[in-house]
Amino acid sequence: MEHITLPNLFYQRTLENKEKPFLWSKQEGEWQSISWEETEKKVKQVAAGLKYHGIMPGDKIMIVSENRPEWVIADLAINTLNAITVPAYITNTEDDHRYIIEHSDAKAVIVSNNILANRVALAISNVETCNLLITIDEYNGFMPENLKVENFEDLISIGNENISTALHNLNTIDKDDVNCIIYTSGTGGRPKGVMLTHKSIYHNILGADELVKQVGDIDHKYLSLVPLSHAYEHLAIFLQIYLSSEIYFAEGPDKFAANLLETRPTLSTAVPRLFEVLYDRIRIQIKNSGKILELAFNRTVKLGKKNLFNKLNFFEKIEHHTYCSLIRKRISKRLGGKLVAFISGGSALNPDIGYFFLSLGVRIIQGYGQTEASPLISAVPPNKVKIETVGPPIKGVKVKLTEEGELLVKGDGVMKGYWKQEKETSETIIDGWLYTGDLADIDEDGFITIKDRKKEIIVNSGGDNIAPVRPESALTFQDIIHQAMVSGDRRSYLVAVIVTEPEIVKDMDEKDIEKNVAIAVRTANENLSQIEKIRRYIIINEPFSTDNGMLTPTMKLRRHMINEVYGEQLDSLYKK
């Protein structure tokens, strides 16, 4: 398999695309672009500026920023010097930043706005190794002693004066050199620094390219929403560079729907939570549009799903290609009109929600992976949809199951190891096989179904193993239930914490909420086995979020935090 280093990939594509628009962002209400050549010039300037400040091959530089052109420019500049990018979430606390800066031995931090920069500066004040803070926006916050603060534009000016030094290290980069250290968000405990190489990420790019080819060989526009600090989006950006795509940076989750209409992308990535939000919005809007449209819409979804399995009779085919077609076009228009595929990853997509969108003609490529695999392991190919699975392994990846059903992965995409954690590395990679910690099945077509995380399995008092994802998905599929977490380890039955959907309950009193949630739980239980059924639950008003520490930055449940807050109430459900 061919391999080139990631900065060389970028410089190759720049030669091919030159003045074509590349990176787009919204400035003062208008979408503005910078070309490939302009981006290349800025990358060289930033690289030379960093070199002027003493950044050497192998040095680590942390980036703390929203998705924006400067993130990509900084990343490519760091890589050009054969230095190592350390992406960090903007939702991190001061203590999170301090830990990552200290653990990674970061020499500098590139940060975006004033609020984030102040938090990072406070973190740096407790770390001896880091003495350079580069701010993309103007900064007027905390200034610790021995910390040099430089504005991004000033760095570019310094780099411009020394631009001849920018590429001195470019051809010394080896494919096995570390490109980035990504700290896993984790659902408990301190994060681990995953070392990904140029080879491991490029291997993923080639595997992802095989999938994208199946939706059409076209000029792509890509809308970026998932945080660039996540391995999934980090890969996606380099895939777009490989494809010579135009990249648009969404203004944020709240404006994503509007940005879809404005930018009209062909591709976009999304975590399952976004699909749940879109699903809820569509259902509520249709419900408020009158009975006739609601009936027609529900019929479109039903026939669309049957069509996926080629089970339409003659009369249903007529329906499917007439008024149902008009409804599908209406949905397509709401997504910009040119979208060929959503790429879903980060966590498991509820199959019911997946089929809902597929039935409406919205193509979804569901991927599965882990940061430790750069991150892509498998994906559902667009030409053979089994949305309840995560598809077969991508090109160049081998998989197998242990006796207890744990999925093992081997290939060029596997990480180099955990930074400074040899023991954990040796426990995770054995004889070249990455132990994923995920329990899985593999069918006769090689499609993988993830059952659950080994560590998240609930073992009830009867010794039954229960994967919480099934009852949680059944609950959140109900219109009135926004979020849910089930519990029941060493207990005789499952209980749940339920968060209601604000839009639906806003005009209900407490009694109506309780009545409708009870109906929803009964409906969810109808499709669950006896041991998976929810017997009792508590209803809360505050959603799980990153702000209250109950979600990871990639929207996964922090079960230990939720249990810490609601554990006593859940325990009391067993005493009734």
Q: Kindly state the average pLDDT of the residues 247-262.
A: 94
Q: Is 552 exposed, middle or buried (0-12, 13-18, 19+ CB in 10 A)?
A: buried
- Alpha-carbon span 135 to 108, nearest angstrom: 11
* DSSP tag of 449: E
Q: What is the pLDDT of residue 185?
A: 59
Q: What is the pLDDT of residue 187?
A: 46
pLDDT tens-place string over residues 40-82: 999 999 999 999 999 999 999 999 999 999 999 999 999 999 9
Max avg pLDDT among 115-124, 185-194, 269-278: 115-124
Task: Assess contact for 383 and 358: CB atoms under 8 A.
Answer: no
Q: Give the whole-angstrom CA distance, residue 278 versus residue 344.
A: 13
What SS3 class is residue 521?
A: helix
Say which DSSP state 337 is in: S
Q: Which CATH superfamily is domain 6-173 in?
A: ANL, N-terminal domain (3.40.50.12780)
Taking 80 as the threshold, does the pLDDT of residue 452 lie above it? no
DSSP structure class, residue 543: P
pTM of the model: 0.85
Rounded Cα gap, residues 285 and 291, in angstroms: 12
Query: Tell me: the pLDDT tens digits for 517-559?
Result: 999 999 999 988 888 999 999 999 899 998 898 998 878 888 8
Give the Cα separation of 370 and 232 in Å (integer).
Answer: 8
Half-sphere exposure for 228 (CA within 13 Å, toward CB)? 28
- Helix locations, 492-558, DSSP H: 502-505, 510-525
d(CA 290, CA 295): 9
Cis peptide before 375 (omega within 30 of 0): yes
Class of domain 457-573: alpha beta
Spatial distance between the Cα atoms of 184 and 372, rounded to a whole number of angstroms: 9
Tens digits of per-residue pLDDT, 467-513? 898 899 999 999 999 999 999 987 889 999 999 999 999 999 999 99
Q: What is the pLDDT of residue 450?
A: 87
pLDDT, mean of residues 322-328: 92
Contact 54, 81 (CB under 8 A): no
Q: Which of 136-150, 155-169, 182-196, 204-218 has the lowest mean pLDDT?
A: 182-196
For residue 481, is it left (φ>0), alpha (ψ between -120 and 50) or beta?
beta
Higher pLDDT, 30 or 277: 30
Compute the chain's Rg from CA coordinates: 24
pLDDT at 1 over 60: no
Per-residue confidence band for 284, with pLDDT thresholds at 50, 70 and 90 = confident
Region 305-313: what's the mean pLDDT?
91
Give the residue extent of every domain in the chain.
6-173, 457-573
Q: DSSP character for 413?
A: T
Q: Which pLDDT tens digit goes with each residue over 370-400?
A: 999 999 999 999 888 899 999 999 999 999 9
- Grade residue 3 by pLDDT with cuts at 50, 70 and 90: low
pLDDT per residue as tens digits for the range 9-21: 999 999 999 999 9
User: How high is the pLDDT of residue 349?
Assistant: 82
